Amino acid sequence: MKFTLSWLKSHLETEADLDTIVGRLTMLGLEVDGVTDRSKELAPFRVAYVISAEPHPNADKLRVCVVDTGTERIQVVCGAPNARAGLKGVFAPGGSTIPRNGMVLKPSTIRGVASNGMLCSAFEMGLSDDHDGIIELPEDATVGEPFARVIGLDDPLLDVKITANRADCLGVRGIARDLAASGLGRLKPLDTKKIPGRFASPISVAIADPEACPLFIGRYVRGVKNGPSPRWLQDRLLSIGLRPISALVDLTNFMTFDLDRPLHVFDAGKLTGGLSLRSARSGESLPALNGKEYALESGMTAICDETGVISLAGVIGGDSTGCSETTSDVFIEAALFDPVRTAATGRRLNLQSDARYRFERGLDPAFVFEAMEIATRLVLDLCGGEPGEIVVAGAEPPWQRQVALRPERVASLGGLAVEEAEIEHILTALGCGVERENGRFQVALPSWRGDIEGEADLVEEVLRIHGYDHIPVVPMSLDTALPRPALNAAQRRAGLVRRSLAERGLNEAVTFSFMSSALIGAGNQTFFGEVKPELLVANPISADLDLMRPNILPNLLSAARRNADRGYGDVALFELGPQYGDDTAGGQRDIAAGIRVGRFSVKQWNDPGRNVDVFDAKADALAALAAAGAPIENLQVTADPPAWYHPGRGGSIRLGPKTLLAHFGEIHPRFVTALDLRGPAVGFEVFLDAVPFAKSARQRPPLKLSSLQPVERDFAFLVDTSVTAEQLLRAARGVDRKLICDVRLFDVYTGVGVPEGKKSLAVTVTLQPVEATLTEGQIEAFSKTLVAQVMKLTGGVLRA
Amino acid sequence: MDELDNLRRCLLDELAGIDEPAALENLRVSALGRKSEITQRMKDLSQLDGEARKTAGQALNRLKDEIQGAIDAAQRRLAEAALERRLAGERVDVTLPVAFETTGRIHPLSQTIDEIVAIFGEMGFRVAEGPHIEDDFYNFTALNIPPDHPARQEHDTFYLPEKPDGTRKVLRTHTSPVQIRTMLTEKPPIRIIVPGRTFRFDHDATHSPMFQQVEGLVIDKKVHMGHLKGCLTEFCRAFFDVDDLPLRFRPSYFPFTEPSAEVDIGCRRSGGELKIGNYGEWLEILGCGMVHPKVLANCGIDPTEYQGFAFGMGIDRIAMLKYGIPDLRIMYESDLRWLRHYGFVPLDRPSMIGGLSR
């Protein structure tokens, strides 16, 4: 909402200066977004009279001028061709800053002649590109007067943000009213005297759809002469960026912004029969004032004459009945259109207008007849003519409401004790009727404050006018000195996983919850299953952000691709965030997912470097699971990765046969190619919510420390290539769970010395004796059992 | 005893010339071994008698001890020399570079959330969470934003497809639905903060279609706007680590609070740089207010018995302000250069006792 200071002062009698007004508006909840005040910048520049202008002794094109600034006579060297005695110009004194270039003027000597200050051009003042000569002001300009005032630039423009509840402040008068209520001046009276009609209206009004509009009035004015608006009206509109068109159009725009009262002026000569208001029918259309044609639908409120729809109520007028230069008779229409329907109509047609903006927020229901008188007076003043009688359909809807306020609620809700007399004073100033009744106020609300509904609103009104600044700052209190933990077990665990993964060299990313549905599959291949239609965003911001991600990996891999495009092909990223299985609350799961692409380590003088592989991803997944508190010893790894991994280089990690905890693997080469990624890419996904919480995390089992030295023995087995390491390790561990404390695979070998179809797996078994040191015989016996057991369970034989 | 003197001088001379352990061992054998002259002379002592034997024996023993001592000294000298040679040979170029820093970085948004939790945790708040794909009821209606409310238009909502029954899910436009979910399931007193992802149909230099908000909710019997001021003042001062940071509460409007306020913090804008502190200028940072009685009633909480406050602010925004991050959208770009520059080392977990200045 924009307006100038002088516009505001046409409604508000106040001595307050601009800064005070701006400060007060903001603290009233009418936040000032910006103030454009050219007069501040132009303040040093004043009207000066050139007493004499003599040729410069040392330069042909320069003149030595003596100027009267109103306070002193100053010598100025000037190069402008129009510098001459008798001219009134703009003088910039020493020390002032030239708006155009920011140059600070200093006393100087030009070709041997002293010069103090400068006579300025419009270019230097930042007003135009004209730098052919210095500004020439009218002869009646007063010497010493601020130059901005002389040319009308001393009217600061305010831009105020009006919150959705303050419909009453969408006109300058409403803002003035709030300022007056806050004690910053007095609201000037509005001339709403009735203008008697001199003839019966040749046009009738009727409401066919009362729910769409309770009150619809009109007035015929004949014999008007349309033309350009007077200067004051054009200036008002221009100041807020509106283009003056003609008096009849301009005055309706003015009414909208000045009094928050949109209304419409029809060219009565273009109307056929009376006006009626009804719901539009599908199939009807309206060529509107903005040059566009709108297809109407049932539910939109149409103003019609006998030919059909001529205006869309509260949204936009029709082109066929608009005023022009030749208009001689007009019909002024003012009504109360239903906010909800007006908003819905505007939304359906994607049509924003100043009228719609106000109607949908709600207009003052008691300001229709008065507005008609004001509009009539404007028409008569600007265009002449003879007014007819006002015709009325419907009636002013009942708006009178009362809300009770217990004065102590200001303190108990607002935190600030305000005296009852002050409360009463504030509410009265806001236009409320206030009566005391059993220790509470019965507050009759003014017609323009439809936003006030209950006691809490009145508390806000009192605090708002009294000043939020006065509310004391009270510290929050706790019943105990120590707070309870802020995080629950799952949240705490997520934090541990996050920081553990970062410790492993993965950088944390936060990517969109959106992804491209195209990445669910590429070509004919689907990688991440089917796109669930319920997860497709109906109004995506762009085609590549059209799906709520069912998986985090595509976003991370896309990020890797972007990094590679920038020249950083070795990427290690993880994200701890949501993925969406469906559109329910339960379908959203927090996942720890990560990728590594390119080289795991780059070559250095002591390290040849290597590429990432599936085992890096597996280690990441296990580290995340360990941080999440999963029982790592009991996890099972199986070679059954989902479709987005390399079928032979990926796996799943489970606890028991059913509880799936993680996937890991090399990303399927086809997906890597589809993303145009180079280099190997591996990834993992850990389902944090599937990791069970330890039953008692606090109490650790007792620690039994043996004083006996552990013993290590190495074994190498030849097994079929189909036998997994996990099978062999499991077989070995199972031999004696008490004695064996560790089985470590230290070698996997195929090649010379190993028959086709076989591989050699070598393990170190660590034995921890419990009661007594093991004898060679006992170790020998144990070895035999182990070899036999491994053979039984895996078919492996001890390598010679 | 010139003979012994000669032998002594002879052996010591020889010893002085030895520069390797093998030669020393040879000398030891030849000087003190079974076939050595000294041993031979010891044997020969038996042929002497009386005083002569005693005198000669003592002289021989002295010589033997002296030679043994000299050999031990030579051994130490050789070992020392050997170590010196080894050390000289083992010299490496310690300026060779090593990879000591292998950790990744924590995203500034995560770090900021941890900081927020650390501060509000001290004030007794607990972290609550909720779904991103929401019902219209939780995101709007229960928050006193009925379908035809103009405030809805300002929310620029993302929708999921319409269902056969005409309803459609929304991507939550704020974290406020978690207020509703919490109040519907828990009894007051309530003190929660809700950090999380939020979504609005907006994508330009200063808006991202996904961003992060933190919501706060306090419901109790006597909590009032003064507490709201106290709570947010302490938070902002702790978070920005400016003890005298001024806050300005301005009246504003949100459908779900009444009275409502927007909060500015002190700042200074000069030379394209923004500094947070007591400098006389203001920067809007969050919205807040007393929970609207209708919202309480919508959640089955008696507004005549309970009241409270709520607030919401952009995590991205306060992270950018605190850490001087100039661009919002790059936060979600996963640019490694950016992550490493603005990110935090993993062990740097924020806490109030450790302080929140980085």
Position B151 scores a pLDDT of 64
Q: Which of A143-157, A257-271, B263-277 has the highest mean pLDDT?
A: A257-271
B97 preceded by a cis bond (ω within 30 of 0) = no
Does position B3 have pLDDT exceeding 90, yes or no? no
Helix axes B50-89, B21-32, angle to 10 degrees: 170
Mean pLDDT of A679-705: 87
Return the minimum-mean-pLDDT range out of A10-19, A33-42, A393-402: A33-42
Cut 0.95: pTM above it: no
C-alpha pair distances (Å), B62 with each of A180, B38, B53, B68, B262: 121, 11, 14, 10, 102
B positions 318-357 inside 8 Å of A (CB): 331-337, 339-340, 343, 345-347, 349
Assess contact for B250 and A469: CB atoms under 8 A.
no
Determine, for residues A26 and B258 on separate chains, whether the beta-carbon distance falls below 8 Å: no
Return the minimum-mean-pLDDT range out of A100-114, A313-327, A354-368: A100-114
CA distance A718 to A755: 9
Token output for B71? 């050999």
Determine, for residues A476 and B227 on separate chains, whether the beta-carbon distance falls below 8 Å: yes
CA distance B201 to B196: 17
Mean pLDDT of A195-216: 94
This model of the complex carries an ipTM of 0.89
The helix or strand, by DSSP H or E, that contains position A187, with its residue range, turns out to be strand A186-187
More confident residue, A23 or B37: A23
Determine, for residues B103 and A505 on separate chains, whether the beta-carbon distance falls below 8 Å: yes
Assess contact for A614 and A665: CB atoms under 8 A.
yes
B positions 192-251 inside 8 Å of A (CB): 193, 197, 199, 201-203, 209-210, 218, 222, 224-231, 233-234, 248-251
Position A724 scores a pLDDT of 92
pLDDT tier, A535 (very low <50, low <70, confident <90, very high otherwise): very high
Return the minimum-mean-pLDDT range out of A344-348, B158-162, B292-296: A344-348
Using alpha carbons, select from B135, B125, B140 the residue that is nearest to residue B167.
B135
Position B127 scores a pLDDT of 98
Mean residue pLDDT across chain A:
92
Assess contact for A346 and A356: CB atoms under 8 A.
yes
- For residue A101, the SS3 value is coil
Mean pLDDT of A580-600: 96
Return the minimum-mean-pLDDT range out of A19-33, A129-143, A258-272: A129-143
Does position B1 have pLDDT exceeding 60, yes or no? no
Instruction: Calculate Rg over the CA atoms of chain A.
Output: 42
Q: Chain A interface, mutation test: which of B258, B283, B338, most A Cβ atoms within 10 Å?
A: B258
Minimal CA separation from B327 to chain A, in Å? 15
Assess contact for A218 and A336: CB atoms under 8 A.
no
Position B41 scores a pLDDT of 85
Which residues in chain B have Cβ-Cβ distances shorter than 8 Å to A495?
114, 349
Q: State the first-to-last Cα distance of chain A, in angstroms, to the nearest integer.
A: 92
Position B162 scores a pLDDT of 93
Which residues in chain B have Cβ-Cβ distances shorter than 8 Å to A580?
132-133
Sequence-ordered alpha helix ranges (H) in A481-550 = 489-503
Does position A522 have pLDDT exceeding 70, yes or no? no
Q: What is the pLDDT of residues B215-246, one digit of tens each?
A: 999 999 999 999 999 999 999 999 999 999 99
Determine, for residues A468 and B261 on separate chains, whether the beta-carbon distance falls below 8 Å: yes
B271: alpha, beta or left? (left if phi > 0; alpha if psi -120 to 50): left
Q: What is the pLDDT of residues A360-419, one digit of tens each?
A: 999 999 999 999 999 999 999 999 999 999 999 999 999 999 999 999 999 999 999 999
Q: State the first-to-last Cα distance of chain B, in angstroms, to the nearest integer.
A: 85
Instruction: Calculate Rg over the CA atoms of chain B.
Output: 43
Return the minimum-mean-pLDDT range out of A453-457, B150-154, B180-184: B150-154
CA distance B239 to B314: 13
C-alpha pair distances (Å), B225 with each of A120, A405, A625, B307, B311: 55, 17, 45, 10, 11
Position B128 scores a pLDDT of 97
C-alpha pair distances (Å), A30 with each of A239, A557, B267: 20, 47, 21
pLDDT tier, A696 (very low <50, low <70, confident <90, very high otherwise): low
Which residues in chain A have Cβ-Cβ distances shorter than 8 Å to B248?
469
Position A674 scores a pLDDT of 87
Position A448 scores a pLDDT of 96
DSSP 8-state code for residue B148: T
B positions 258-297 inside 8 Å of A (CB): 258-262, 290, 292-293
Q: What is the pLDDT of residues B58-78, one digit of tens each?
A: 888 988 899 899 999 999 999
Using alpha carbons, select from B108, B94, B79 the residue that is nearest to residue B330.
B108
Return the minimum-mean-pLDDT range out of A2-16, A125-139, B166-180: A125-139
B189 preceded by a cis bond (ω within 30 of 0) = yes
Determine, for residues B133 and A471 on separate chains, whether the beta-carbon distance falls below 8 Å: no
More confident residue, B56 or A564: A564
- For residue A767, the SS3 value is strand
Taking one residue from A and the other from B, the number of pairs with CB-CB distance under 8 angstroms is 265
Determine, for residues B222 and A360 on separate chains, whether the beta-carbon distance falls below 8 Å: no
Q: What is the pLDDT of residues B63-117, one digit of tens each?
A: 889 989 999 999 999 999 999 999 999 999 999 998 877 899 999 999 999 999 9
Q: Chain A interface, mutation test: which of B158, B236, B298, B345, most A Cβ atoms within 10 Å?
A: B158
- In this structure, are strands A507-508 and A571-580 parallel, antiparallel, or unpaired? parallel
Would you call B148 an interface residue with chain A, using a CB distance cutoff of 8 Å? yes
Q: How far is CA B23 from the centre of its chain?
A: 61
Mean pLDDT of B194-214: 92
Mean residue pLDDT across chain B:
92
Nearest to B106 among A468, A502, A548 (CB): A502
Helix axes A489-503, A614-627, angle to 10 degrees: 140
Does position A165 have pLDDT exceeding 80, yes or no? yes
Position A570 scores a pLDDT of 95
